[in-house]
Amino acid sequence: MFGTLLIKECKQILKSMVYYIYVVVFVLFLSSQLGGDITENLQRPQPGQENYGMTNSQKESDIMGKMLAELVLETERNSYATYPMGFYKGVILNETELEKVKAIVEECTGKNWQQVTGEITEHFNSYDQSSMEGAMQAQVTFSVFPRDDLSYAEFCEHMEEICRLVGAGSSYQKEKWSQGVSVPGTYEQAVEEFEAICTKDRITGAIARLFCDYAGIVLAILPIFLGVTRCLRDKRAQVVQVVYAHKLSTAKIIGSRYLANVCMAFLPVIITLLIMQMPYQYHARTIGVAPDLLAFLKYSCIWLLPEIMVVLAAAFFLTELTENVISIFVQVFWAIASLFSSMTLKGSFGWNLIARWNTLGDTTAFWQQRQELLWNRGFYLILSLVMFVLTIVIYEKKRREGETIYGKIFKRRR
Amino acid sequence: MERYLNAGGSFIRRQYAPHILLTVLFCVMSGFFVSFRNLDASQAAKVMEMYIAFTGILLLTPLFMPEQNREIWLLERSKATPLWQLYLIRVLEAIVLLMAIVTVFVFLMRQGGSVFSVGSLWLGSFAEIFFLGSIGFFVSGITNQVILGYMVSVLYFMVNIGGSKYLGKFALFQMMKGSYDFAALMLPVAFLLLAGGIVLRERR
Amino acid sequence: MGITIEIKDLSKNFGKKQALKHVDLQIEQGMFGLLGPNGAGKTTLMKVLTTLTKKSGGQVRLCGIPVEQCGQVRKMIGYLPQDFSMYGNMGAYEALDYLAVLSGIEKKKRAILVPQMLEKVNLNDQHKTKVKAMSGGMKRRLGIAQAIIHNPKIIVVDEPTAGLDPEERVRFRNLLCEIAKDRIVILSTHIVGDIEATCENIAVLNLGEILFRGTVSELLQAVRGKVYTLEVSTLELPMMQEKFLVTGILTNGSTANIKLIADQAPMREAKQAEPDVEDAYMYLMNHTSASKGRE
């Protein structure tokens, strides 16, 4: 009986305009972001190349150099990026606060502020700022050297002072930079990294991660509308009472609706990913790597399915609770907050709804953080199940008592 | 005149109040997420374009909500006051609210010691917010599904985060990049969308 | 266990408002009419019977099963709500099939039952007609089909003929009578004609209380000998309406034939007339509201 209902629900979804917008937007979004050849630079590194990409370093000297560089650049602009509530908030200091920061910079570098700004200009002028590549290269190679006798402990104290001045959520918080900073890599590191892509990811794994990164952004928003539409459909078609009075249990009714939506939301994801990763299997073979044919399936099931499930479950829960569209506002807010709160576009999964890994490769770093991602997704999987059960409880309550607590307060019934 | 005031007032009390409340809540919460102090022109634009922009969706999309019910729609159609006049009153109410919101935030940022041209930021913000909202209004009008209105306008916003280059003059977030000349095109198009939404809806 | 509904001391409160006050009712097999003005508590009573709302007090048993056992009860009831509708984009067959699934009917049985039911309610040439394109009568007939498809012992029908044209109304009543052969059909209405044509057993509900419980002839008995017809001039009409309970007016130029209920003959010219259910209902309503007024 459950199966029949499930199929009927799926057919209903196929008839709704919302679903077609869902599919079209999803496909367009992915193909616009990943349409080109993204593996162009995926070749075995050769000695003597101009650069070997970036690598993560936790060396104290690297950390001090990079953090001071960021502080100098932000101080020169007087604009500090902070994420106090997960949202980006640009902090601008007043004169006295700014002077204090400059004093700290001077203390850490052993140079006065004019000298420091002079170095900035000098460094950036030595790169071709008009081209994108030059500007980026200038940014990543910029480093400010601390004075020779600056100890790591002193540095930490200064950073704490900066945090007090700039406010919560800046990149000067120890828990952020102690994870390591990004510095230009060497030939040996590049080779090691390439080997990792070939053996651990077998190329297609790295591709699948990049797909999941982009797909995860839209999938935080799109399924909301499917869920809200389904739940409000009964009210709109005035079938609520009829459905209530039938025999089938609430778990089966809500279960079939939820599962149908999860399946139908996941289906275009799987198909799009299957098609889009095919050329890269070929690419892997040309450089002599046996691709992992099911990588896209593994990644999307672990990375994207829990996200779809939790977004849909929240939509079901909030909509059955309130019987209006408020779920859309709450969840769009949630998604956008999550999108802007990712400190980096790579890793630091934390408890973010949208997991980012906006780079091809960086395999070693990913496998180090893999456990964190699994915890994150596991958490959302459980959260979605909890919300699903709560939806059943609410539906059953409404079915039994005729109205909800919320309804008693807010709705004037006929 | 009295009956227009009456119709507008009744809409606010009976239908619009929760949406206004939500919008106000959203604005009040802005303090947690964005700063109003010492901003330059592009940062001020960012506050308006990335945060306050949502008020357009919140206020303009639900204007057709009562008439989503066919019986109510038919009943109202049979009355002496044409429906487009009712819609127009609601649109005017929404526009006044949007203007007030934009004014309040421009004022707040000014108070916080931010430096920008008040006139162009006000006009640019209003044009963008109004335009984004009119998309929701148009879609919910022609499809008679408020959810679709929200969906399309929210997705339009999302598309602009990554793919504004495909949208030319109709891209959002232009003030952040220092361009202010889009308002001359966006405002008329927004009005066109409003008019189109009302006309096409009533043609059904 | 026979097919019966026992209601004992049933109460339902919405906040401070009492929608049902200590209702006692026993319903046996056949058509049962629930009559009462709008807001009398009919819909609330039906919702309690169909497990759609919780009672505040008392006992309700359907075929011996307490109403609290929702799953069991839902299996044996069919419910046609006042404003029955279905998803607009479904065809008649699809909609009925969907609801049959919700009733837990197996695929093989559905393939037989769905066409059979559509034929029974005269929708057999409308399998593909979308619900949103249906007339009020067609929707009602689809509604009754979904209420009987799982062969329930008890069928609850709320305001079944509201919004139907006279022809559809007659057909619908006949359909209900046919169904009621081996089960209970509870029919709620404020249209007296529906009851008169179909039900033998009735109850009259007002302000959450049972005013009358019995057969139609017992109801008529109460007003027998109290109904009069009379010819008056139209100028006298307002006076007559104020003084007596006037249940029918037929104007004819400057004079009017009126039908009224009074304990004694109002005037010498008045002739006694045969009462109908409407007269009896009006009398009952008037009588109780008057006695309430005296309290």
**pLDDT tens-place string over residues C129-139:** 999 899 888 88
Nearest neighbour of C103 by CB, restricted to A12, A247, A249: A247
> What percent of chain C clears pLDDT 90, i.e. is strictly above it?
28
Taking alpha carbons only, the member of A210, A229, A173 closest to residue A303 is A210
Burial bucket for residue C133 (CB in 10 Å: 0-12, 13-18, 19+): exposed
pTM of the model: 0.83
Helix, strand, coil in percent for chain A, rounding step 5:
70, 5, 30
* Contact A12/C at CB under 8 A: yes
pLDDT at residue C96, as a whole number: 94
> 3-class SS at C122?
coil
- Tally the domains of chain B: 1
B17-26 long-range contacts (CB < 8 A, ≥24 apart) are B18/A324, B19/B58, B19/B59, B19/B62, B20/B59, B20/B97, B22/A326, B22/A329, B22/B58, B23/B55, B23/B58, B23/B59, B23/B97, B23/B101, B26/A329, B26/B54, B26/B55, B26/B58
* Contact A406/C at CB under 8 A: no
Could you read off the pLDDT of B38-71 as tens digits, one per residue?
777 887 888 888 889 999 999 999 998 888 877 7
* Contact A174/C at CB under 8 A: no
Last residue of a domain, one of A184, A204, A219: A184
For each of the domains in chain C, give its residue range(s) and CATH number, in order of start: 5-215 (3.40.50.300), 221-294 (no CATH)
Rounded Cα distance, C101 and A314, in Å: 27
Which residues have CB under 8 Å from A158's CB, separation 6+? A104, A107, A108
Chain B residues with beta carbon closer than 8 angstroms to that of A79:
40, 43
* Pair A294, A359 in one domain: yes
Chain A residues with beta carbon closer than 8 angstroms to that of B62:
325
Rounded Cα distance, B99 and B106, in Å: 11
**Residue A411: pLDDT above 60?**
no
> What percent of chain A clears pLDDT 70, i.e. is strictly above it?
88
**Residue A186: pLDDT above 90?**
no
Residue A48 in any domain: the answer is no
Nearest neighbour of A241 by CB, restricted to C81, C102, C107: C81
Chain B residues with beta carbon closer than 8 angstroms to that of A325:
62, 146-147, 150
Cross-chain Cβ contact B155/A33 below 8 Å: no
Residue A137 in any domain: the answer is yes
The position carrying tokens 């309700």 is C60
More reliable by pLDDT, B36 or A388: A388
Residue A104 in any domain: the answer is yes
Cross-chain Cβ contact C99/A248 below 8 Å: no
pLDDT at residue A414, as a whole number: 34
* Contact A351/B at CB under 8 A: no
More reliable by pLDDT, B193 or A58: B193
Choice among A7-16, A401-410, B123-132, C193-202 with the minimum mean pLDDT: A401-410
Which residues have CB under 8 Å from A299's CB, separation 6+? A205, A208, A209, A211, A212
Chain C: nearest CA to A406, how far in angstroms? Answer: 14
A41-55, C159-173, C179-193 — most confident range: C179-193
Taking alpha carbons only, the member of A371, A335, A374 closest to residue A86 is A335
Residue A72 in any domain: the answer is yes
A113-117, A130-134, A329-333, C178-182 — most confident range: A329-333
Mean pLDDT of C31-41: 87
- ipTM of this complex: 0.87
Beta strand pairing call for C154-158 and C184-189 = parallel
Cross-chain Cβ contact B147/A236 below 8 Å: no
Q: Binning pLDDT at 50, 70 and 90, where does residue A37 land?
A: low
More reliable by pLDDT, C245 or A9: A9
Q: Binning pLDDT at 50, 70 and 90, where does residue A127 land?
A: confident
Chain A residues with beta carbon closer than 8 angstroms to that of B161:
339
Last residue of a domain, one of A165, A184, A203: A184
Nearest neighbour of C81 by CB, restricted to A242, A253, A400: A242
Give the containing element (helix H, strand E) for C57. strand C57-62
Range(s) of the domain holding residue A298: 2-43+195-410
**Residue C295: pLDDT above 50?**
no
Cross-chain Cβ contact A242/C74 below 8 Å: no
* Pair A122, A238 in one domain: no
- What would the two tokens of residue B23 be? 């919008």
More reliable by pLDDT, A48 or C39: C39
Taking alpha carbons only, the member of A62, A64, A87, A92 closest to residue A76 is A92
A15-24, A112-121, A140-149, C217-226 — most confident range: A15-24
Q: Rounded to 5 degrees, what are φ and ψ at B172?
A: -85, 180
* Pair A293, A162 in one domain: no
Q: Binning pLDDT at 50, 70 and 90, where does residue B152 land?
A: very high
Residue A100 in any domain: the answer is yes
- Tally the domains of chain A: 2
* Contact B159/A at CB under 8 A: yes
* Contact A405/C at CB under 8 A: no
pLDDT at residue A87, as a whole number: 55
* Pair A134, A237 in one domain: no
Average pLDDT score, chain A? 84
**Residue C281: pLDDT above 70?**
yes
Choice among A127-136, A198-207, A248-257, B98-107 with the minimum mean pLDDT: A127-136
**Residue A256: pLDDT above 90?**
yes
* Pair A213, A108 in one domain: no
pLDDT at residue C37, as a whole number: 85
Chain B: nearest CA to A336, how far in angstroms? Answer: 9
Range(s) of the domain holding residue B172: 2-203
Residue A87 in any domain: the answer is yes
Mutate to test the interface with C, among A231, A242, A243 (most CBs of C within 10 A): A242
User: What are the DSSP calls for A48-100, one per residue?
Assistant: T-S---EEEE--HHHHHHHHHHHHHHHHHHT-EEE-TTSS-EEE---HHHHHH
Cross-chain Cβ contact A399/C85 below 8 Å: no
* Pair A156, A232 in one domain: no
Rounded Cα distance, B151 and B123, in Å: 26
* Contact A20/C at CB under 8 A: no
Rounded Cα distance, C50 and C73, in Å: 8
More reliable by pLDDT, A141 or C173: C173
Rounded Cα distance, A17 and B151, in Å: 11
Average pLDDT score, chain C? 86
Cross-chain Cβ contact C87/A241 below 8 Å: no
> 3-class SS at B73?
helix
Torsion angle, alpha carbons of C51, C56, C57, C58, to 10: -20
**Residue A35: pLDDT above 80?**
no
* Pair A156, A269 in one domain: no
pLDDT at residue B72, as a whole number: 82
Last residue of a domain, one of A184, A212, A229: A184
Chain B residues with beta carbon closer than 8 angstroms to that of A332:
54, 154
Taking alpha carbons only, the member of B151, C102, C78, C84 closest to residue A254 is C102
Rounded Cα distance, A294 and A274, in Å: 9
CB-based contact A377:A306 (threshold 8 Å) = yes
Cross-chain Cβ contact C102/A401 below 8 Å: no
Taking alpha carbons only, the member of A182, A192, A186 closest to residue A367 is A192
pLDDT at residue B162, as a whole number: 67
Mutate to test the interface with A, among C52, C67, C114 (most CBs of A within 10 A): C52
The position carrying tokens 């059979």 is C116
Give the containing element (helix H, strand E) for C158. strand C154-158
Q: Binning pLDDT at 50, 70 and 90, where does residue A241 land?
A: confident
pLDDT at residue A31, as a whole number: 84
CB-based contact B81:B3 (threshold 8 Å) = yes
Measured between its terminal Cα atoms, the distance across chain A in Å is: 35
Mean pLDDT of B105-134: 92
Beta strand pairing call for C245-252 and C255-261 = antiparallel
CB-based contact C10:C44 (threshold 8 Å) = no
> What percent of chain A clears pLDDT 90, i.e. is strictly above it?
32
> 3-class SS at C18?
strand
Taking alpha carbons only, the member of A88, A38, A53, A67 closest to residue A336 is A88
CB-based contact A246:C80 (threshold 8 Å) = no
Chain A: nearest CA to C174, how far in angstroms? Answer: 23
pLDDT at residue B33, as a whole number: 75
Residue A320 in any domain: the answer is yes
pLDDT at residue C11, as a whole number: 92
Amino acid letter, residue C29: Q
